[in-house]
Chains A and B, each alone.
Chain A
């Protein structure tokens, strides 16, 4: 002990200088534990977010000896939604045909019915009402956008391209991942070998995957070239076709992310109480019935959560389209992150921040909606 005898007499036996420091540190412990994380997030996440908001409503100009920012209100967003960048962000919009109108009205009616039901339900609070209204509005807007850029003969902008990656990619990855997890949960030989093997792609750097798939998708010199030429497609270039190019991006993305879903769902399947499966077996359920009635409800909450994570991450896609196609042909494979990056490279900081904010808005609305209407529900119903 470093405590001096004098201290002992006055304050008590164990309260020396060091002891006093220790006591002080102990009292501050609750702060010490949480403060670093809070500061880091404040400084490098929240602060930049606010700065970004400021940039999104400014115009950035390089001037002599530095740069200058001028406040321009929502001009950057106007440009994206209605102005010169509309084709780039929203896509080429065409007038809706009768079929598209029919679909749109149908969707609007469905959303309206859903909203009305929520509004009439006394249990829905103010936040619930506002949230549902936002969800419904965004859903309607995105439906209209989808119709005008597909059925009506328009073309995708970076918003629709990103959504395409998210929706098609995540669906594909979920189906394959779930399928593989089910296969691997059977009484098979070498489960661990498959488990390890299937896990590898998630570790591979996305840039590497992009190059690998560029090689594989090369229709004249890639490994599949003989197959393509057998079908007379040897001279075709997928990189020149918007849909083919997007599909190649989705395939590369799926190759990387199927393992993530696979490994979590497999663990969930293996984690089920064995006695429930055996009870189903004795009750007379076939393999498929056991899955439908016992396993699926058990893993549904995990599946919903893992999909939420995947959706959140999928919105951030950039590496694959940038390296695989450089956003091309034209802007066909440009994701919103890539769009924002390109804008930054051309010194259009305001435009870049505006795209980034639109991405934030869309991904938050969709993620939060998914959380509330899928994940929560899955947990409530299946736990």
Chain B
């Protein structure tokens, strides 16, 4: 209830202030007409934009022209324009696609499969968690979490130091933890909330991948998964999970709850609500987040260094490996980089607006 102040407004005696004329420099940047820029502003603005356009385009252009250069055109000083400075040749393209076609094709397919499958996986798992964090209340107790971590640490010491087989340690870990939980779980009073869980998941992104790369390497070796696509897929899905949870959380939060409640009254289960109602409504968010994650997985380099072997190589490694014994083969390298860039850039062109919006939603509230 707003209380209304009913004192009458007193008579006013306010001084009149007009706008002073601008100084000489300010005048240069002041528009001559409404809704237009002054010539000076326009010069600065378009000048700046064109300058950065050159910065952005030139390296890409250079990659493209290098891919159609003969070694001699690269090695004998800069040659800029095809047909004018040099005669373009498809030799590098022929070499990459035909002569060593299989060696290009395999990593390319690997990268495609790894990137898409890990993205789908991360999106699915991450979206479910993000949705749950928006709509379901969790109150895990701090004590049980500490207890679990202690058990985990003990299991690790047992495996690494005492040589207990890892699967026995894993079973033991779960058993001991559950027993302890039964026994003393009720005593823990301090509870965490959804925000804590979300923070915990998102904060995984701070973790430098190199910290986990080593143990993951050892772990997959033990599981016999080293040098397989599965290892890549699981790892990439994990490292991108925080991003998915972070961005999707805000998309789900922006969906009005009325729809879900009405579906609930109509008798839909949580699963049905999630897949039939929530996911379709979050499509822009899914597109944006998915693309971002896809690109990150597609370009990932560090973990690939650790995980790849003779059988499974990804494109970034193939490109990096061109720094061969005979010195860099710029022309082949350029072809490989170009065919790596083209697909992601194509998708990005269609989705860039969504991405900006998605990132904005996430970064403002996150």
Contact = CB atoms under 8 A, between A and B. Distances in A.
Whether chains A and B associate is yes
Interface of A: 22, 25-26, 29-30, 32-34, 36-38, 40-52, 54-55, 58, 69, 71, 176, 179-180, 183-184, 186-188, 194-209, 211-216, 220-226, 255, 260, 263-264, 266-268, 271, 284, 286-288, 301-302, 305-306, 309, 312, 315-316, 318-319, 322-323, 336-337, 340-341, 344, 349, 352-353, 355-357, 359-360, 363-364, 367
Contacts of B302: 316, 318-319, 337, 341
A363 B206 contact: yes
A48 B212 contact: yes
B226 interface: no
A197 B340 CA distance: 17
A197 B53 contact: yes
B324 interface: no
B208 A188 contact: no
Contact of B269 (A22, A36, A55, A340): A22
Given A44-B212, A255-B59, A356-B214, A267 B359 contact: yes
B131 A194 contact: no
Nearest to B318: A207
Contacts of A46: 149, 152
Contacts of B334: 211
Given A287-B29, A287-B41, 13 more contacts: A25-B271, A40-B241, A44-B238, A51-B160, A69-B161, A176-B52, A180-B48, A206-B299, A213-B59, A214-B328, A221-B76, A221-B78, A255-B56
A286 B26 CA distance: 8
Which of A46, A223, A263, A364 has the most CB atoms of chain B within a 10 A radius of its CB?
A223
Contact of B49 (A36, A194, A215): A194
A353 B215 CA distance: 9
B271 A29 contact: yes
A37 B319 CA distance: 32
A305 B366 contact: yes
Given A37-B241, A337-B302, A322 B205 contact: no
Nearest to A200: B345
B333 to A, nearest CB: 5
6 contacts: A37-B245, A46-B152, A205-B299, A264-B359, A356-B208, A360-B207
B80 interface: yes
Given A30-B136, A221-B77, A322-B320, A49 B212 contact: yes
B160 A49 contact: no
B211 A359 contact: yes
B285 interface: no
Given A37-B245, A49-B211, A360-B207, A323 B49 contact: no
Contacts of A349: 214
A340 B222 CA distance: 22
Given A223-B58, A319-B316, A360-B211, A37 B125 contact: yes
B262 interface: no
A341 B209 CA distance: 11
B100 interface: no
B290 interface: no
B316 A207 contact: yes
Contacts of A222: 78
Contact of B201 (A41, A184, A202, A266): A41
A41 B245 CA distance: 12
Given A199-B348, A319-B316, A204 B363 contact: no
B206 A205 contact: no
Which of A46, A196, A205, A352 has the most CB atoms of chain B within a 10 A radius of its CB?
A205
Given A37-B126, A44-B238, A49-B207, A200 B348 contact: yes
Contacts of A176: 52
B215 A286 contact: no
A44 to B, nearest CB: 4
Contacts of A352: 210, 214
A54 B160 contact: yes
Interface string B324-364: 00001010011001001100110011001101110110011
Interface stretch (B30-38, B101-109, B179-187): B30-38
A264 B362 CA distance: 10
